[in-house]
């Protein structure tokens, strides 16, 4: 089952002095349950591509079909709702709300979805236990390590029961042990729950864990390698 189908995706940024072709005609299919890393040098188009998949930026041309929905044809309000219901995000800066506890941070997205309070609290608690933070549910971000904060961010990304999770340089601010723990946790979630993960990364440790590695250069896919699992 295909989660994402991308056809001839192009993105051009026009500044006052120069035209930048950030994406130059990408064709790609990602199936349910993939654990995929998108790699390439700075300026290769990784972040732009992730932003397109997440509906955070719009293509100049081409199609992005997610679970049967062509997201480029959605109105702004429908796109916001589509993201809320279908896409989980994990950023390198964690983006947790400082005044909320770990539990409340994970609950937040479900609150936006209109999930019943009792139901969302239970799911948030279950997710935090699943990511190894059952004893820190009432801690605010300032009382958590970087690795723990990123685990909260993963739990929050999963709270909405998304079609897939986009992780943009999720290990960039973590030490080796935290990185290993985080990647092992996400790999386990991928295996057990068939959650689709797509990473943008420079981190070789992420690449080593990935089951599929897509390399971008100058806005084009130059290689697409699947590992034997």
CATH of the domain at 54: 3.40.50.300
| Structural domain harbouring 58 | 2-226
10-residue mean pLDDT series, the chain (229 residues): 90 83 94 95 91 92 94 92 92 90 95 93 93 94 93 91 90 86 88 91 92 95 87
Q: What is the pLDDT of residue 161?
A: 86
Q: Cα(108)–Cα(12) distance, rounded to whole angstroms?
A: 34
Q: Cα(56)–Cα(47) distance, rounded to whole angstroms?
A: 11
Q: What is the pLDDT of residue 227?
A: 84
Residue 167, judged by CB atoms within 10 A of its CB (0-12, 13-18, 19+), counts as buried
Q: What is the pLDDT of residue 148?
A: 93
Q: What is the pLDDT of residue 122?
A: 96
Q: What is the pLDDT of residue 173?
A: 83
Q: What is the pLDDT of residue 229?
A: 57
Pairing of strands 220-226, 164-168: unpaired
Full-model pTM: 0.89
**Domains held by the chain: number:** 1
Q: Cα(109)–Cα(63) distance, rounded to whole angstroms?
A: 27
Half-sphere exposure of residue 137, counting CA atoms within 13 Å on the CB side?
A: 16
Cβ–Cβ < 8 Å for 36, 186: no
pLDDT of 202-219, one tens digit each?
999 999 999 999 999 999
């Amino acid at each position: 089952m295909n989660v994402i189908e991308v056809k001839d995706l192009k993105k051009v940024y026009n500044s006052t002095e120069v035209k930048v072709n950030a994406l130059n005609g990408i064709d790609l299919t990602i199936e349910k349950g993939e654990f995929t890393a998108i790699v390439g040098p700075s300026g290769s188009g990784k972040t732009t591509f992730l932003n397109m998949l997440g509906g955070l930026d719009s293509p100049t041309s081409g199609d992005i079909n997610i679970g049967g929905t062509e997201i480029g044809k959605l109105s702004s309000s429908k796109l916001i709702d589509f993201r809320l219901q279908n896409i989980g995000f994990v950023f390198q800066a964690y983006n947790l709300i400082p005044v909320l506890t770990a539990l409340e941070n994970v609950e937040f997205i479900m609150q936006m979805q209109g999930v019943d309070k009792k139901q969302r609290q239970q799911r948030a608690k279950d997710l935090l236990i699943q990511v190894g933070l059952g004893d820190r549910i009432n801690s605010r971000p300032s009382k958590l390590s970087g690795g723990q904060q990123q685990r909260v961010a993963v739990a929050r990304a999963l709270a909405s029961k998304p079609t897939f999770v986009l992780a943009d340089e999720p290990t960039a601010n973590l030490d080796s042990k935290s990185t290993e723990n985080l990647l092992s946790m996400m790999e386990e979630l991928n295996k057990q729950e068939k959650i689709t993960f797509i990473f943008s990364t420079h981190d070789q440790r992420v690449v080593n864990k990935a089951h599929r590695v897509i390399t971008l250069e100058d806005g084009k896919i130059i290689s697409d390698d699947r590992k034997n699992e």
